[in-house]
Amino acid sequence: MKFDFDSVRDRKNTFAIKYDLAEKRNKPLDAISLWVADMDFPTAPCIQRALEERAKHGIFGYSRPDSRYYQAVKNWFKSRHDFEIQDEWIINTPGVVFAIASAIRAFTKEGDGVLIQKPVYYPFANVITLNKRRVVNNSLVFKNDHYEIDFDDFEKKIIEENVRLFIFCSPHNPGGRVWKKEELEKVSEICLRHNVLVLSDEIHSDITFGENHHTVYAKLSSQAAQNSIICTSPSKTFNLAGLQFSNIIIQNEKIRNELQTEIDRTGYDEPSLMGIAASTAAYAEGQEWFDEAKKYIWDNVLFTEKYLSQHCPKIRVVKPEGSYLVWLDFHQFTELSDHEISDRILHKAKVWLDYGKMFGSEGEKFHRINVATPRSILEEALQRICSVF
Ligand SMILES: Cc1ncc(COP(=O)(O)O)c(C=O)c1O
């Protein structure tokens, strides 16, 4: 490998929430931290160089993306996803969750129902309720070792709850599903039939494994393109979450303008300068680094599976089709309660994972582990977990 993903870097005292929030959140200070979704690898050298150059320049005034950014982002989406974008379709926000919250306010009213599919990335439910909307849940069904959509319930919930907005996690966090085109088509058919706007959160879409191919929701049909907001960001792909920059892609001009007006209402204007510099370098020059990072992550998924099957086969791995987040199933510990399982992981094994029930009650007896970390850290975490079960 050209790039080094094995070396361990100490992230303590770097403002990293994964490490520096332990005390505040009452977590053991010596816990191995594999919860929040960022990587323990330094980003691509080409991105570090771009940031160093900007830092050396020394002037950090108001900034906006220019043609270099637009060209880079368009090339990336064309080559990775066969998705052709026009400059004016892109809105930049400090993050995907910011865009989701803005869309909730722009396209629904207080008290309206917003559809999500639990277990799902918990900020979806948080921003719905914080904006005084109702969470309408179409629970995913766990069968054949993976999650599937219950389409009858999906349509029923839309009708019964008069849903106008669906927040779709595609690929899915925490289940690791990369939805098949046929599944997306069914979603689209139902949403178009009932006039439901689709916000497709595709932040994990670059990280897919093997035969699993991500379909950009807006590529399904011209109707789907006109009825969707596609949320993307280089933050997961290149480990840039702290730089606060995302690309929200909207083809429908009316929807785009309405979302932009809502964003303007928040007072947010120019994006972060370092976010622009890093994203431009990432999309223009980061391919090789990313391909190696993805390979390392996939090897970590396989390592996790093998390690657990050898040392503690009752912990089942829900094999991800995409993302570096792996859903671990502890249901075979029938004698232990959900609380006892999580207590053992955090306080006895001293490994800080994301607790399954945070993603919804469907997440009971699951925990989510982030495998975007050097293998030695992953191995120690798995060793510690196995030793307490
Ligand atoms: C599905 C999903 N959406 C959004 C985010 C966060 O996006 P941002 O930091 O751009 O708000 C995450 C981070 O883990 C995520 O998994």
pLDDT in tens, 329-341: 999 999 999 999 9
Decide whether any atom of ligand 1 lies within 6 Å of the 203 Cβ: yes
Length of the chain: 389
The atom number, within ligand 1, closest to the CA of 93 reads 10
Written as six digits, the tokens of 4 are 């080094």
Q: How far apart are CA 131 and CA 134, in angstroms?
A: 9
Using an 8 Å Cβ cutoff, are 317 and 105 in contact? no
Residue with tokens 């993976």: 146
Q: Rounded to the nearest 5 degrees, what angle is found at the Cα of 376, between the Cα atoms of 372 and 382?
A: 80
381 lines ligand 1 (CB under 6 A): no
CA of 86 from ligand 1 middle (Å) equals 24
Which is the closest atom of ligand 1 to the Cα of 97?
A: 11
- Signed CA dihedral, 123, 125, 126, 132: sign only: positive
Strands (E), 217-299: 228-232, 246-249
Can you tell me the distance from the alpha carbon of 184 to that of 360, in angstroms, rounded to the nearest whole number?
A: 23
Pairing of β 366-370 and β 325-329: antiparallel
For ligand 1, the distance from its centroid to the CA atom of residue 243, given in whole angstroms, is 13
Query: 176 CB under 6 A from ligand 1?
Result: no
| 121 Cβ closer than 6 Å to some ligand 1 atom | yes
Two structure tokens written together for 129: 């309720």
How many whole angstroms from 241 Cα to the centroid of ligand 1?
9
CB 377 within 8 A of CB 32: yes
Q: What is the pTM of this model?
A: 0.97
Distance CA 149, CA 138 (A): 8
Torsion of CA 4, 7, 10, 14, to 10 degrees: 0
Cα(174) to ligand 1 centroid in Å equals: 11
Binding site membership of 201 for ligand 1 (Cβ less than 6 Å): yes
Q: At what angle do helices 287-311 and 375-387 cross, to 10 degrees?
A: 20
Q: Is 235 in the pocket of ligand 1 (CB under 6 A)?
A: yes
Ligand 1 midpoint to CA 36 (Å):
10
One-letter amino acid identity for 50? A
Q: Is 369 in the pocket of ligand 1 (CB under 6 A)?
A: no
Confidence at residue 20, expressed as pLDDT on a 0 to 100 scale? 87
Which residues are paired to 133 by β-bridges?
Answer: none
- Please name the residues in contact with 329: beta carbons below 8 A apart, sequence gap of 6 or more: 315, 316, 317, 318, 365, 366
Please list the pLDDT of the chain residue by residue as tens digits (389 residues).
899 999 999 999 999 999 888 889 999 999 999 999 999 999 999 999 999 999 999 999 999 999 999 999 999 999 999 999 999 999 999 999 999 999 999 999 999 999 999 999 999 999 999 999 999 999 999 998 999 999 999 999 999 999 999 999 999 999 999 999 999 999 999 999 999 999 999 999 999 999 999 999 999 999 999 999 999 999 999 999 999 999 999 999 999 999 999 999 999 999 999 999 999 999 999 999 999 999 999 999 999 999 999 999 999 999 999 999 999 999 999 999 999 999 999 999 999 999 999 999 999 999 999 999 999 999 999 999 999 99
Structural tokens at position 216: 């950009």
Give dist(CA 338, CA 343) in Å, integer. Answer: 9
Q: Is 95 in the pocket of ligand 1 (CB under 6 A)?
A: yes
CB of residue 359 inside a 6 A radius of ligand 1 = no
Ligand 1 atom closest to the CA of 94, numbered from 1: 10
The radius of gyration of the chain from alpha carbons, rounded to an integer in Å, stands at 21
Structure tokens at 180: 């098949």
Q: Is 173 in the pocket of ligand 1 (CB under 6 A)?
A: yes
Going from the Cα of 96 to the center of ligand 1, the distance in angstroms, rounded, reads 6
Spatial distance between the Cα atoms of 47 and 241, rounded to a whole number of angstroms: 13
Which of 190, 212, 188, 182 lies closest to 200 in space, CA to CA?
A: 188
Q: Which two tokens stand for residue 242?
A: 């702290």
The protein residue whose alpha carbon is closest to atom 7 in ligand 1 is 96
Q: Which of 203, 204, 248, 370 has most ligand 1 atoms within 8 Å of CB, for mutation?
A: 203
DSSP-derived 3-state class of residue 273: helix
Q: Is the CB of 96 under 6 A from ligand 1?
A: yes
